[in-house]
A = this chain, B = another copy of it.
Amino acid sequence: MADTVFVVGLGPGDGQFLTGQAGAALEQAQVFCGYTVYLDLVRPLYPDKEYCATGMTRELDRCRHALELAQAGRTVALVCSGDAGVYGMASPLLELAEQFPEVDVEIIPGLTAALSGGAVLGAPLAHDFCVISLSDRLTPWQVIAKRLAAAAMGDFCVALYNPSSKGRPDYLARAVDILLENGKAPDTVCGLVRNIGRPGQSHQVLSLAQLATTPVDMFTTVFIGNAATRQLGGKMVTPRGYRP
């Protein structure tokens, strides 16, 4: 009898960010599938499960293996950091699940970095916002550039994921240029959070002009304010409109 794949968003990593629903799915699962680094986040909490780790860019292999295990009757948790949907495994898993019609799939949401990092900074995304990934592994840079321009034209708050990696150290500076060319002011209040919810978490509030020359790594989430965002006592706060 085929069983279930739970696609589980773990949030930023530490167990305190798991929802009750995610915890129940992990309890119920017999096999945990996922990227090695994410599996290591849950291993201390569930040392007695069966683990099946795959490398970073092996997303489709990971989905197929999870579905094959469920097809054979195992209860499987496919784990993602952050949310299951936002740049997560829910999408490729659901696409591939068409080939496994007997397997049940359940998507379990989790705290994406826009929310968990936003809480560290204060309230950067309290009004309309965009989430944009700067990774061009699966998206042409022209599409990313178009979205950055649109986000600036709409005066959205923005959370930038994957702002840098070894192969593209200058992408954040290029993104800042596009935002400035399309209407964001150089003194727009911005923020960075590194290692959200993990050892060594740190954050910083700075201007958009400063952001262009600030080094970031792949464990950093970048926040860009709208025209009304302010720095208040070291926090980044976007007004909802209420004035004290």
Interface residues of chain A, those whose CB is within 8 Å of chain B, are 9, 11, 15-21, 23-24, 59-60, 63, 83-88, 90-92, 94-99, 107-112, 115-116, 118-120, 122-133, 137-139, 143-144, 146-147, 149-151, 153-156, 232-233, 235, 237-244
| B21 A16 Cβ-Cβ under 8 A | yes
Q: Is the interface of A mostly helix, strand, loop or mixed?
A: mixed
Q: In the complex, which of the residues B109, B118, B149 contacts A109, with contact meaning CB atoms closer than 8 Å? A: B118
Chain B residues in 8 Å Cβ range of A146: 153-155
Which of the residues B87, B108, B123 comes within 8 Å of A90, measured between beta carbons? B123
Q: List 24 A-B contacts (CB under 8 A).
A: A17-B109, A18-B19, A19-B111, A86-B115, A86-B129, A90-B126, A91-B122, A91-B237, A92-B239, A92-B240, A92-B242, A92-B244, A94-B232, A98-B232, A99-B244, A107-B119, A109-B115, A111-B115, A128-B133, A130-B154, A139-B241, A143-B155, A146-B154, A146-B155
Nearest first, the 7 A-B pairs at minimum CB distance are: A150-B154, A138-B241, A91-B126, A90-B123, A91-B123, A107-B119, A109-B119
Query: Are A126 and B16 also in contact (CB < 8 A) when A94-B232, A154-B146, A237-B94 are?
Result: no
- Nearest CB on B from A147, distance (A): 4
* A97 / chain B contacts, CB cutoff of 8 Å: 233
Residues of chain B within 8 A of A21, CB atoms compared: 16-17
- In the complex formed, the residue of B with least CB distance to A24 is B16
Contact B233 A98 (CB under 8 A): yes
A25 → chain B closest CB, angstroms: 10
Question: Is there contact, CB below 8 Å, between A138 and B87?
Answer: no
